[in-house]
Structure 1
Amino acid sequence: MITTTTPTIEGHSIQQYLGIVSAESIIGANIFKDILAGFRDIAGGRSETYEKVVDEARTIAMNELIRKAESIGANAIVGIDLDFETIGAGSSMLMVLATGTAVRV
């Protein structure tokens, strides 16, 4: 599966547009991650704990996006957009929304 944020794929012609696909991933940051991130916030520097949560949520959303595109016969997704939001009480959860256009090249 070819995936890209661009509207075209260099070297390939889009033969058929199959429609918009979207997928989401919502992951809660548990209390232990919050405590570890809090220490990092005080000390300064990068929070590997939260970086792993963001990466996990993005990976889940992208895998689901690909699965949905494949289920309608696509072999590529163009124009992918990833949105990251915090939701829930105290912004305790991370939501990643992935959207794109499923195509056949």
Structure 2
Amino acid sequence: MILTTTNSIDGKQVTNYLGIIVGTTYTSNTGATKGMSFKDIFNSKKYYENYEKGLEAAKESAFDKLKVQALEKQANAIIGVSIDIEMMSTTGVTMISVIGTAVRVQ
């Protein structure tokens, strides 16, 4: 599966535009302390490393959902990919959305 942020793929011709697809996932800030010792919870470096790992896993999950939707539409590429990360400050939840256009290319 080819994924690109651009609206075209060098050397490939888009033969069918199959529609806009979205992969969305959520992650919680409270997960950043999972598996950490009590002492490490107060170590900001370790806390942010754990939080970053959680965000990375959530991003990969969103991309996986995007690819599944593309395959359901029988696409072999996704163009115009963009990522939107929204922090909901009142709940401590982060939403990650990956958006693109499913296409068939030669």
Distance 2:32 2:14 in 1: 47
- Pair 76,38 (structure 1): closer, same or farther in 2 beyond 3 Å: farther
Query: What residue is the counterpart of 2:13 in the other structure?
Result: 13
TM-score (normalised: structure 1): 0.83
| Count of residues in correspondence between the two structures | 101
Deviations 1:45-64 (A, max 9, x none): 99211110110111000000
- Pair 46,18 (structure 1): closer, same or farther in 2 beyond 3 Å: same
Query: What residue is the counterpart of 1:102 in the other structure?
Result: 102
- Pair 33,78 (structure 1): closer, same or farther in 2 beyond 3 Å: same
Gaps of 5+ in 1: none
C-alpha contact 2:24 2:98 (8 A) present in aligned 1:
yes
CA-based RMSD: 2.3
Worse overlay, 25-34 or 56-65: 25-34
Counterpart of 2:68 in 1: which secondary structure?
A: helix
Distance 1:59 1:37 in 2: 25
Gaps of 5+ in 2: none
Distance 2:10 2:60 in 1: 24
Q: Percent identity?
A: 33
Distance 1:27 1:95 in 2: 7
Is residue 2:85 matched to residue 1:81?
A: no
Query: What residue is the counterpart of 2:4 in the other structure?
Result: 4
Distance 1:17 1:11 in 2: 17
TM-score (normalised: structure 2): 0.83
Counterpart of 1:7 in 2: which secondary structure?
A: coil
Distance 2:15 2:28 in 1: 40
Residue type of the partner of 2:97? L
Counterpart of 1:57 in 2: which secondary structure?
A: helix
